[in-house]
Amino acid sequence: MGNVLAAAPPVPPPFPMTGMPVVPGAVTPTPGAGTGKDTAGHNPGSFDELHRKCKGEGRPGGLGRTMSRNYHTVNLSTIGISNYHFGATYVGMKQISPTECFPVCISDIDNSGSMNGQVIHQLTDGVRVKAAFQTQKSRFVTWQVDTEYRAPSYTAAIALGNPDVLLGSAVLVSHYLQALSPSLSLGGELVYHRRPGEEGAMSTIVARYAVNNWVATMNIGASGVHASYHHKASEQIQVGVELEANARLQETLCTLGYQVDLPRTNMVFRGSVDSNWTVSSVLEKKLPPLPLTLALAATINHRKHKFQCGFGLTIG
């Protein structure tokens, strides 16, 4: 669904470089899961997750095996403000599939009082609802309510963000995604916004083609073009390329990224390079038997001659 929270003032991330997790351990349901049906080849999944494989957001899986989780993240930086994040995840007892249980409650709060929260629940086999809110430095910023319906061959969703009856303002987002075949899906998005003295609408069409080891997706609309390609070369190596062209800002960004999993050493290495000559890398290392994950990150912009590095420790 359309993320109205993306339009709100951003909460300062715990790491000053690309690729580091904002909410450690936050889990987003996997596309096509939780409906009680074989949706892998028919139901196209959620609109929000079309470019998810290239974005690398979230950590799918494991919901059915853990009833609650807490996460502590301490971030030390020489170029930004050092901070502490506490995240909590609660998973209910309503099991939809071997990897999903509902309801799911996810939250993250830092030492400044900024907070992100989500509540996700599967009401029926096809209907899923989600409520999300965001505060910044103890001040309420925005909230959003989504409803999604998944049929065997299509997904329809509607989202309402920041409604204000007194001012007559709100953002309404609707999605529709149809699977024409097990590999090809087509759909569209309609965004309507209204506030005092201004209202407007914007539409986007989308196409996705997916096979066993690769997926290609493209969004085209008045706001620009967003295209991505993700290829799983093996169980350990994944590569992807993403193109984002913003018509309003007259900006284009192309990013090439990769991920290498080393299960024997409990390590994951991610890296990317974009058309702005920014090179980023992240190394995550689990430290068993302790419930600790050490993250090392660095980014350099050759054009601006800027270098950043940092590390984080996640407990949980």
> In this predicted model, what pLDDT tens digit does every residue of 96-137 receive, in sequence order?
888 888 999 999 998 888 899 999 999 998 999 999 999 987
If you write DSSP's letter for every residue of 117-182 in order, what string do you get?
EEEEEE-SSSEEEEEEEEEETTEEEEEEEEEEEE-SSEEEEEEEEEEETTTTEEEEEEEEEEESSS
Residue 63 has a pLDDT of 28
254, two tokens: 């192309």
H helices of the chain, where? 52-55
**Per DSSP, what are the bridge partners of residue 311?**
76, 296
Supply the pLDDT for residue 80. 66
State the pTM of this model: 0.74
Could you tell me which residues come within 8 angstroms of residue 316 by beta carbon, excluding any fewer than 6 positions away? 24, 25, 69, 70, 71, 72, 87, 291
Q: How many domains does the chain have?
A: 1
Query: Range of 231's domain?
Result: 4-315
Q: How far is CA 53 from CA 66, 213, 230, 238, 253, in A?
A: 24, 12, 6, 9, 17
Q: In order along the chain (316 residues), what is the average pLDDT of each group of 10 residues?
A: 44 34 36 40 83 60 40 68 84 85 91 90 93 87 92 95 85 95 94 89 94 94 93 94 92 94 93 93 92 90 87 78
Nearest Cα to 24, choosing from 72, 80, 78?
72
Residue 305: per-residue pLDDT: 87
Report the CATH number that the domain containing residue 260 is assigned in CATH: 2.40.160.10
